[in-house]
Amino acid sequence: MREGPDIARIASLVGDPARANMLNALMGGTALTASELALEAGVSLPTASSHLSKLMEGGLLTLASQGRHRYYGLAGPQVAGMIEAITGVAEAVGPKRVRPGPRDGAMRIARVCYDHLAGEQAVAMLDRLVEKDILLRDDREIRLGPSAVSHFSAIGIDVDAKPRRPVCRACLDWSVRRSHLAGTLGAAILDKILLEKWARREKDSRAVVFSPPGKQAFERVFLA
Amino acid sequence: MREGPDIARIASLVGDPARANMLNALMGGTALTASELALEAGVSLPTASSHLSKLMEGGLLTLASQGRHRYYGLAGPQVAGMIEAITGVAEAVGPKRVRPGPRDGAMRIARVCYDHLAGEQAVAMLDRLVEKDILLRDDREIRLGPSAVSHFSAIGIDVDAKPRRPVCRACLDWSVRRSHLAGTLGAAILDKILLEKWARREKDSRAVVFSPPGKQAFERVFLA
DNA sequence: AGAATGCTTCGATGAGGAACGAACTATGCG
DNA sequence: CGCATAGTTCGTTCCTCATCGAAGCATTCT
């Protein structure tokens, strides 16, 4: 009972699955809104709000209010370091990698991350778009390149449509450990993929499964 | 819902106050028995046993059985690092140092740590005993000096009495951040202090309060 | 102004899990 | 062998806290 700082209080904040998912989602470094975090955590908005209050009160998060949006972010690198340390232990003691499993494999290749595509396919797509100078990437930030508007409108995506949210955002991929494309453009691309029936969402999962012709079409449009 | 390793599982293990106290107690590096940890955590033995099972199952602890004693220790430096990281955050976000409070002050000066004395007085005592070469300290280890047996038997403490447990052990003091004396010798000294009525235990607390003459006697014997 | 969106608060429900006493097992001592 | 000590298991009680629906602010769009 050497009662120094209240470590149990902090750890129990991270100890709830919903909160842990939120913190994990914020490990990418970009601040997210309450709704986004609710989706990430897989809970309802009220529940998420309650969790966010607790994380705020616990000093783990910062809040930036912008209009009616409230962006939550990690309170600092110390908090991020703590999450990393916990993740490291969890990885070390949890050799639960019995076998990747078919759905895990599919998840690794392509899955939904909030409203956009994630996984190997998504990372490859962003790489290719940057390579072709359609998008420009500095470190964590992604901007439209000069040919972006014409390129995307040619395939039926209007990049100016929704000026409220950032068009491009980098989102860290847990399976590949590299960024993929988020923001309204990322969302629009996922919409197109599903609309064109190139792929379908796996039931009760975030996995996205491409049909063979769908994959070809996707590669022709985005990876060419 | 980027579901990597199960960080919530690990964090929730640390998130219980009783378990957090146990882990904290083990941060000193020395393995402790279930009973000792129960006392540290301030819970009953069955409760402690249950917590220890969970910590073992979670991979945070190692177990070394020696006869009827079962020594629990941290599973490794990675776990210790995680605890440190959490402690750092807890310290940073919890500047709840409203006021030390009278009892906290007493605790800081002298308190019971399992079966021995801790706090400023205890740290000063160990320093003085080492200074006089009655005890020898290398880093974390403490051994009896050549004059130890005669010195302690002169004041009625038989250092050879109980060969089963280590006679001397260093125990890290949370308030002073330095070691004090544990082990059978530490326990015997605390016994003597209470037996001679130099001090009494505060009700419902670990604080130990010396009477003015008692303090003088203690200083004469151990700090001279 | 009215409507829509983003988010929080309130209230009720429910489940997990922390706690302890009592009983049981295991190791050591005489 | 019997007694004492060290630990675990079991069963019960209890309380916290996670969850969601409904309703309540707040902000922005039209």
How distant is the Cα of B149 from the closest Cα of chain A, in angstroms? 31
Q: Which residue of chain B is at minimal alpha-carbon distance from A93?
A: B59
- Chain-chain contact of B11 with A8 (C-beta, under 8 angstroms): no
Q: Is the Cβ atom of B118 within 7 Å of strand D at any atom?
A: no
Q: Is the Cβ atom of B185 within 7 Å of strand D at any atom?
A: no
Chain A CB contacts of B94 below 8 Å: 5-6, 9, 59
Residue A102 has pLDDT above 60, yes or no: no
- Range in A125-129, A161-165, B10-14, B42-46 the model is least confident about: A161-165
In DSSP terms, which residues pair with A69 in a beta bridge? A66
What is the pLDDT at residue B46? 92
Summary mean pLDDT of chain B: 80
Residue B100 in contact with partner chain A when CB distance is under 8 A: no
| Long-range Cβ pairs for the range B190-196 (8 Å, 24+) | B190/B112, B190/B115, B190/B116, B190/B117, B192/B155, B192/B156, B192/B157, B193/B117, B193/B218
Q: Residue A51, CA: closest nucleotide via C1'? A: D18
Calculated CA dihedral for residues A136, A138, A140, A141, nearest 10 degrees: -50
How many angstroms is C1' of D8 away from CA of B199?
A: 37
Residues 168-207, chain B, touching A (beta carbon < 8 A): 172-174, 206
Q: Residue B50, CA: closest nucleotide via C1'? A: D8
Chain B CB contacts of A75 below 8 Å: 93
- The arrangement of secondary structure in A7-93, i.e. its CATH architecture, is Orthogonal Bundle (1.10)
DSSP B115: T
Q: Which residue of chain B is at minimal alpha-carbon distance from A17?
A: B8
- Range in A33-42, A91-100, A144-153, B124-133 the model is least confident about: A91-100
- Chain-chain contact of A5 with B90 (C-beta, under 8 angstroms): yes
Cα dist. B51→A173, B77, B134, B215 in Å? 35, 21, 39, 39
pLDDT classification of A1: cutoffs 50, 70, 90: very low
pLDDT classification of B165: cutoffs 50, 70, 90: low
- Chain-chain contact of B14 with A4 (C-beta, under 8 angstroms): no
Q: Residue A38, CA: closest nucleotide via C1'? A: C7
Burial class (CB within 10 angstroms; exposed 0-12, middle 13-18, buried 19+) of B92: middle
Chain B CB contacts of A93 below 8 Å: 10, 58-60, 75
Collapsing DSSP to helix, strand or coil, A65 comes out as: strand
Residues A10 and A58 sit within 8 Å (Cβ to Cβ) = yes
For the stretch A140-186, pLDDT in tens is 567 888 888 888 888 888 776 555 556 777 665 555 556 678 777 88
Residue B53 has pLDDT above 80, yes or no: yes
Determine the Cα–Cα distance for residues A134 and A138; give it in Å rounded to an integer. 13
Q: Which residue of chain B is at minimal alpha-carbon distance from A43?
A: B1
- The arrangement of secondary structure in B7-92, i.e. its CATH architecture, is Orthogonal Bundle (1.10)
Residue A2 has pLDDT above 50, yes or no: no
A189's tokens: 């691309």
Q: Is the Cβ atom of B156 within 7 Å of strand C at any atom?
A: no
Summary mean pLDDT of chain A: 80
B123's tokens: 């740290």
Give the pLDDT mean for B74-97. Answer: 81
B61's tokens: 């602890």
Residues B10 and B47 sit within 8 Å (Cβ to Cβ) = no
Determine the Cα–Cα distance for residues B171 and B177; give it in Å rounded to an integer. 10
Residue A74 has pLDDT above 50, yes or no: yes
How many angstroms is C1' of C15 away from CA of A168?
A: 42
* Annotated domain spans of chain A: 7-93, 102-223
Give the pLDDT mean for B153-161. Answer: 76
User: In the 3-class helix/strand/coil scheme, how is A110-151 assigned residue by residue?
Assistant: CEEECCEEECHHHHHHHHHHHHCCCEEEECCEEEECCCHHHH
Chain pair A-B, CB pairs under 8 angstroms: 165
| From B1, B59, B92, residue closest to A78, measured CB to CB | B92
Calculated CA dihedral for residues B95, B96, B97, B103, nearest 10 degrees: -150
For the stretch A108-139, pLDDT in tens is 788 776 667 878 888 899 889 988 898 887 65
How distant is the Cα of A37 from the closest Cα of chain B, in angstroms? 9
Residues B87 and A5 sit within 8 Å (Cβ to Cβ) = yes
Residues A202 and A209 sit within 8 Å (Cβ to Cβ) = yes
What is the pLDDT at residue A160? 66
- Range in A19-33, A60-74, B122-136, B201-215 the model is least confident about: B201-215
How distant is the Cα of A82 from the closest Cα of chain B, in angstroms? 5
Residues A75 and A61 sit within 8 Å (Cβ to Cβ) = yes
How many angstroms is C1' of C24 away from CA of B73?
A: 26
How distant is the Cα of A207 from the closest Cα of chain B, in angstroms? 12
Give the pLDDT mean for B108-124. Answer: 79
How many angstroms is C1' of D26 away from CA of A63?
A: 16
Q: Which residue has the higher pLDDT, B69 or B74?
A: B74
pLDDT classification of B99: cutoffs 50, 70, 90: very low
